[in-house]
Amino acid sequence: MNELGLFPLNIVLLPGEQAPLHIFEPRYQELIGECLDENVEFGLVLADEDGMREVGTRAGVIEVLESFPDGRLNIVIEGRDPFRLVELTEGRSYITAEIDELEDEADEPSAEEVEECLDAYRRVVDAAGADLEDLDPRADSIAYQIAARVDFGTDVKQGLLELRSERQRVLRLAPMLAKAAEAVARDREIRERASTNGRVEPL
């Protein structure tokens, strides 16, 4: 176990995912300042009305976009390895905790299972008319990459983060993507009909 500074937020950061953050609270200015000075990571954990989750993601600051005279920062962070909270600790202005690193089980999806997930993802992208960057087939997790690009909300992303094999993640994601593709296509058809004649015909 080792101790890690925590940044509880109402977001989930998946391994490999990048996200912008605006740092304004003094305690988190201190945390991020130490991460920058010492080139270390912090822990990002989902925190909402249900409390703080036990599983979070190590995060590294990969870019400082803007630094303000009052100490505020605009930064870009990147998700690294997942961890589990063991015990909260004290002594700093920001939250700290003892953590355990989490490893994936050796349970890889079959080529057919991966292709089914990728096909559903492509249908979502096509239905939305989106222009998303290509997936990296060399990355450890296709599922994490897809979930970082399709907005399923924090509960789904947290659920994927807590799964301990890539196969489990792919199998959970594929049917959700298939449903999303159908929903996006249906919504797009309704909007197109409404824009042409001002009426929506029942489907």
How many C-beta atoms surround the C-beta of residue 74 within 10 A? 15
Cβ(99)–Cβ(41) under 8 Å? Answer: no
pLDDT above 70: percentage of residues in the chain:
95
The answer to the question of residue 22 being in a domain is: yes
Residues 11 and 77 in one domain: yes
CA distance 4 to 85: 10
Strand ranges for the chain from DSSP E: 2-9, 18-23, 42-48, 51-52, 55-67, 73-89, 96-101
How many CA atoms lie less than 13 Å away from 136 in the CB half-sphere?
9
Residues 95 and 120 in one domain: no
User: Of 101, 132, 160, which marks where a domain is finished?
Assistant: 101
Residues 27 and 96 in one domain: yes
Residues 19 and 90 in one domain: yes
Q: So what's the pLDDT on residue 197? A: 58
Q: Which long-range contacts (CB under 8 A, 24 or more apart) does 180-187 make?
A: 180/120, 180/124, 180/150, 180/152, 181/120, 181/123, 181/124, 181/126, 181/127, 184/124, 184/127, 184/128, 185/123, 185/127
The answer to the question of residue 178 being in a domain is: yes
Mean pLDDT (whole number) for 27-35: 97
Residues 68 and 137 in one domain: no
Residues 123 and 37 in one domain: no
The answer to the question of residue 203 being in a domain is: no
The answer to the question of residue 202 being in a domain is: no
Residues 33 and 55 in one domain: yes
> Mind listing the pLDDT tens digit for each residue in 141-200?
999 999 999 999 999 999 999 999 999 999 999 999 999 999 888 877 777 777 665 554
CA distance 101 to 138: 23
CA distance 65 to 198: 45
User: Of 101, 124, 144, which marks where a domain is finished?
Assistant: 101
DSSP 48: E
Residues 122 and 162 in one domain: yes
Residues 164 and 120 in one domain: yes
The answer to the question of residue 171 being in a domain is: yes
User: Of 40, 74, 101, which marks where a domain is finished?
Assistant: 101
pTM of the full structure: 0.89
Into how many domains does the chain fold? 2
Q: What domain range includes position 169?
A: 111-197
> Mind listing the pLDDT tens digit for each residue in 128-140?
888 877 898 788 8
